[in-house]
């Protein structure tokens, strides 16, 4: 049987689970306090499909009949026992259901729970996640486990992310409705202390063209409680010959525009570091609110004049350059790297070696395939073994116009929070 560690993500097929057949999730607990376990069916933006798609003891079946709470025991217990069993049929869920989130909640701090286990069954037990009191701290809710689609494949993520405010706050977080008096109580416990000016206000003052992007980025940041995070942001741009069309059509400049709100939110300097690469890497300098507009056409004489050697792919070299840059810089805060490629990837060994070494550093790599193919090892890095931590993610899209800005931010930030949590736990970044 496979054990799912906190932060681990993998396709269900890795555990010999057939996503075309029903699966059962069994929640076994030993707890002196009452606790609730619920399942939320969410769309691609991370919002509850509607209130009927919150499956719990008082609403045990989803409207489609493919998510069922088949067993439930609400009372505390001094010995281990099964509290809940959910049966889900992933292949028969509607296309607008992008993920299922299984949530634990209580009216008192969860660290009073002695133990909790989640078993994933399909005829026999295929995988298991285990939690102890120390995993829950003082929160009254925890987003435990997620089943989600990625690239048409169902995957599992052991999220184990605490959430202040209890069940009502999570319902609000997912866009559901709660009673008015509960809403007021949730507001008291979930509203963070604002030590930074709002992203929207900064953009309105300094880059009004990006205000709408800032609003959409803020939604994703708030959902993941990242508004107050201090981090550095880097952008790495494929400038090989096959990318010419993306540069000419303004797609690369649009990437700059869309990532800048994240840099403004995270970085004290409200700027990001930018590299381009072909055979050779080139550091293009910082992109900030005063120079983002037209950066691709203007920086170092414009993209056609960048000093990159022959316009062929060499991902490993630029990855080494980025890593060395931040090692010299001090690695005092986490670093988020958005890496754009249209494929044609080579030197799989070199990339694997760099990523394995970089896993020991506080650097998270978000790879994005843009309008190409042949992404090779970049698609496989997310599940690569031999690293101290999973330090990357990958998604692809044919055209930026094919994806909404909201969905793009959701994809860009999908795995970053769980990496942050695990990186803190193993001491890569400070608490």
128 CB neighbour count, 10 Å cutoff: 17
Q: How far apart are the first and last CA of the chain?
A: 32
Q: Which residues pair with 340 in a beta bridge?
A: 237, 368
Look at the alpha carbons of 286, 361, 418, 197 in this order and tell me if their dihedral is positive or negative: negative
pLDDT digits (tens, 9 = 90+) for 115-147: 899 999 999 999 999 988 877 777 788 888 999
Buried b (16+ CB within 10 A) or exposed e, 50-60: eeebbbbeeee
Which pair of structure tokens corresponds to residue 100? 């299922």
User: Does residue 9 contact residue 414 with C-beta atoms inside 8 Å?
Assistant: no
Domain ranges of the chain: 2-190, 199-425
In this structure, of 57-66, 169-178, 290-299, 377-386, the range with the lowest mean pLDDT score is 377-386
Please compute the mean of the pLDDT values over residues 308-334 and round it to a whole number: 91
Four-point Cα dihedral 379, 337, 263, 412, nearest 10: 20
Q: What is the mean pLDDT of the chain?
A: 86
Q: Are 272 and 261 in contact (CB under 8 A)?
A: no
16 pLDDT more than 60: yes
Q: Which CATH class is domain 2-190?
A: mainly beta
Q: Is the separation of the CB atoms in 287 and 295 below 8 Å?
A: yes
Total residues found in the chain within this entry:
431
Q: Are 141 and 103 in contact (CB under 8 A)?
A: yes
Say which residue the tokens 């394995």 belong to.
Answer: 356
Site of tokens 């025991």:
73
| pTM of the complete model | 0.58
Q: Top-level CATH class of 199-425?
A: alpha beta
How many Å separate Cα 203 from the centre of its chain? Answer: 24
> With 80 as the cut, is the pLDDT of residue 324 above it?
yes
Structure tokens at 157: 């993520």
338-393 per-position pLDDT tens digit: 999 887 777 778 888 888 898 999 999 998 888 766 676 777 776 677 788 889 88
């Amino acid at each position: 049987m496979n054990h799912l560690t906190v932060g681990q993500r993998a396709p269900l097929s890795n555990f010999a689970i057939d996503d075309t057949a029903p699966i059962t999730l069994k929640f076994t607990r030993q707890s002196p306090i009452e606790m609730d376990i619920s399942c939320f069916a969410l769309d691609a933006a991370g919002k509850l499909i509607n209130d009927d798609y919150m499956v719990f003891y008082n609403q045990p079946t989803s409207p489609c009949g493919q998510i069922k709470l088949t067993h439930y025991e609400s009372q505390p217990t001094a010995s281990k026992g099964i509290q809940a069993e959910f049966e889900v049929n992933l292949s028969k869920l509607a296309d607008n259901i992008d993920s299922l989130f299984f949530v634990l909640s209580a009216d008192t701090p969860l660290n009073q729970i002695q133990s909790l286990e989640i078993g994933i069954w399909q005829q026999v037990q295929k995988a298991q996640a285990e939690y102890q009191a120390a995993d829950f701290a003082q929160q009254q809710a925890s987003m435990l486990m997620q089943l989600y689609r990625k690239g048409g494949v169902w995957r599992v993520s052991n999220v184990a992310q605490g959430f202040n405010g209890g069940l009502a706050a999570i319902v609000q977080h997912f866009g559901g409705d709660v009673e008015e008096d509960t809403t007021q109580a949730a507001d008291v416990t979930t509203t963070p202390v604002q030590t930074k000016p709002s992203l929207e206000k900064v953009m309105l003052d300094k880059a009004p063209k990006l205000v709408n992007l800032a609003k959409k980025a803020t939604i994703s940041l708030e959902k993941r409680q990242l508004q107050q995070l201090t981090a550095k942001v880097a952008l790495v741009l494929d400038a090989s010959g096959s990318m010419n069309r993306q540069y000419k059509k303004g797609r690369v400049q649009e990437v700059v525009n869309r990532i800048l709100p994240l840099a403004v939110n995270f970085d004290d300097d409200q700027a990001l570091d930018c590299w381009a690469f072909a055979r050779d890497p080139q550091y293009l300098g910082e992109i900030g609110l005063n120079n983002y507009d037209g950066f691709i056409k203007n920086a170092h004489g414009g993209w056609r004049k960048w000093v990159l050697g022959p316009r062929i792919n060499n991902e490993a070299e630029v990855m080494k350059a980025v890593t060395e840059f931040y090692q010299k810089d001090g690695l005092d805060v986490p670093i988020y790297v958005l890496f754009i490629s249209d494929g044609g990837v080579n030197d799989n060994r070199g990339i694997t070696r760099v990523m394995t070494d970089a896993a020991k550093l506080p650097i998270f790599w978000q790879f994005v395939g843009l309008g190409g193919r042949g992404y090779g090892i970049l698609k496989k890095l997310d599940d690569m073994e031999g690293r101290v931590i999973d330090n990357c993610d990958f998604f692809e899209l044919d055209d930026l116009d094919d994806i909404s800005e909201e969905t793009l931010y959701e994809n860009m930030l999908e795995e970053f929070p769980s990496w942050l949590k695990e990186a803190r736990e193993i001491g890569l970044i400070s608490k």
